[in-house]
């Protein structure tokens, strides 16, 4: 399998249009002229093998963000890594000019695990434009952890202690229901600590059924905490693999998601990870994390 650009004069463009037409129910309608325009701007990548189209990603470039308009894989080649190959190639070929990829996907499609597997994080939502019934679109982004911009550089060099909060602590603070937790946001604390969350908090918030609660908690998070952006990817993968092995669990389990959260904290070189989850407190696992 290889990834190639689709040009306006390429026979491959006809195959892309045909494949897109077969997926109108989920992708929506895109006129032939629009496909041709995206091809002229070199904004279609295709996955092919022996000139056979496996899938494509159609995107547009903004001032600072790449937006995926359509990601489509032939139904006979799904769950074979085609989508990941396309998104990874899109990311790699644009990372020096853009370090964020964004997309919107209908919530009722229930593709959260799919987007998560491609390293996207749900950061918000908006109303869809469907005419037959109301729909909600989740907004997903994928950022480059190796890119440290000016704002990140300032925060990384800050003399205050960097503290990462577990999602259960974030929810407590949003609800204001636990006095011990509320103390974390006392004004004087800002002189000593900077609070961060990992991408896992957005993943967990996105799983909540109530739209109003999801939006309330996202806005609370954005207002009060920084999100971990720059971290050591090698340390992240090492800690994650060790803890998954020690816990004998899969990355997609609830415990596996907790492990990702902890791995972000360690690879970010945080001074502390605050949680109420007794499964990680005062036992051999907490000792391992502390030693790491």
Q: What is the CATH number of the domain that holds 24?
A: 3.40.630.30
Q: Is the dihedral of CA 87, 137, 223, 208 positive or negative?
A: negative
CATH number of the domain that residue 230 is part of: 3.40.50.1010
Work out the pLDDT band at 55, boundaries 50, 70, 90.
Answer: very high
Work out the pLDDT band at 39, boundaries 50, 70, 90.
Answer: very high
DSSP per residue, 202-257: HHHHHT-S-HHHHHHHHHHHHHH-EEP----HHHHHHHHHHHHHHHT--TTSHHHH
Residues 196 and 264 in one domain: yes
Domain end residue (candidates: 106, 127, 143): 143
Burial profile 39-76: b = 16 or more Cβ within 10 angstroms, e = fewer? beeebbbbbbeeeebbbbbbbeeeeeebbbbbbbbbee
Residues 202 and 171 in one domain: yes
Backbone angles phi, psi at 170, to 5 degrees: -60, -45
Residues 202 and 257 in one domain: yes
* Residue range(s) defining the domain that contains residue 239: 150-291
* pLDDT given at position 282: 57
Backbone angles phi, psi at 76, to 5 degrees: -80, -5
pTM: 0.68
Backbone angles phi, psi at 149, to 5 degrees: -85, -175
Q: What is the pLDDT of residues 78-122, one digit of tens each?
A: 989 999 999 999 998 887 777 789 999 999 999 999 999 999 999
Residues 254 and 170 in one domain: yes
Residues 138 and 32 in one domain: yes
Domain end residue (candidates: 143, 169, 204): 143
The mean per-residue pLDDT over the stretch 287-292 comes to 57
Q: What is the pLDDT of residues 118-131, one digit of tens each?
A: 999 998 888 876 55
Residues 54 and 187 in one domain: no
Backbone angles phi, psi at 3, to 5 degrees: -110, 130
* pLDDT given at position 188: 67
Residues 131 and 184 in one domain: no
* pLDDT given at position 155: 46
Beta strand extents in 97-190 (DSSP E only): 100-106, 121-127, 136-143, 161-165
Number of domains in the chain: 2
Residues 155 and 272 in one domain: yes
Residues 172 and 213 in one domain: yes
Q: Is the dihedral of CA 259, 261, 264, 268 positive or negative?
A: negative
Residues 167 and 130 in one domain: no
Q: What is the pLDDT of residues 152-210, one digit of tens each?
A: 444 445 557 888 999 889 888 888 877 778 878 877 677 778 899 988 889 889 999 99
How far is Cα 172 from Cα 179, in angstroms, rounded to an integer? 9
How far is Cα 238 from Cα 226, in angstroms, rounded to an integer? 24
Domain end residue (candidates: 101, 126, 143): 143
274 forms bridges with which residues in the sheet? 165
Host H or E run for residue 46: strand 44-49
């Amino acid at each position: 399998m290889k990834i190639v650009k689709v040009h306006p004069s390429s026979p491959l463009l006809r195959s892309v249009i045909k494949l897109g037409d077969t997926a109108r129910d989920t992708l929506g309608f895109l006129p032939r002229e629009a496909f041709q325009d995206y091809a002229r701007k070199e904004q279609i990548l295709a996955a092919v093998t022996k000139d056979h189209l496996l899938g494509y990603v159609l995107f547009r470039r903004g001032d600072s963000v790449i937006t995926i308009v359509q990601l489509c894989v032939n139904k006979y080649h799904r769950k074979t890594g085609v989508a990941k190959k396309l998104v990874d190639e899109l990311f790699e070929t644009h990372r020096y000019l853009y370090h964020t990829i964004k997309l919107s996907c209908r919530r009722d499609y229930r593709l959260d695990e799919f987007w998560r597997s491609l390293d996207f994080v749900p950061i918000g939502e908006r109303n869809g434009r469907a005419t037959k019934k109301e729909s909600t679109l989740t907004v997903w982004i994928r950022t480059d952890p190796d890119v440290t911009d000016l704002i990140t550089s300032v925060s990384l060099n800050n003399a205050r202690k960097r503290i990462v909060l577990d999602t259960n602590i974030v929810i407590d603070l949003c609800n204001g229901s636990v006095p011990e937790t509320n103390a974390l946001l006392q004004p004087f604390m800002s002189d000593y600590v900077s609070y961060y969350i990992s991408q896992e908090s957005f993943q967990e918030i996105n799983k909540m059924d109530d739209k109003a609660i999801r939006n309330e908690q996202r806005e609370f998070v954005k207002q009060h905490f920084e999100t971990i952006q720059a971290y050591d990817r090698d340390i992240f993968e090492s800690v994650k693999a060790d803890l998954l092995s020690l816990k004998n669990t899969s990355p997609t389990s609830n415990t596996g998601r907790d492990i990702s959260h902890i791995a972000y904290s360690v690879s970010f070189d945080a001074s502390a990870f605050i949680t109420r989850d007794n499964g990680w407190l005062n036992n051999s696992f907490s000792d391992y994390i502390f030693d790491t």
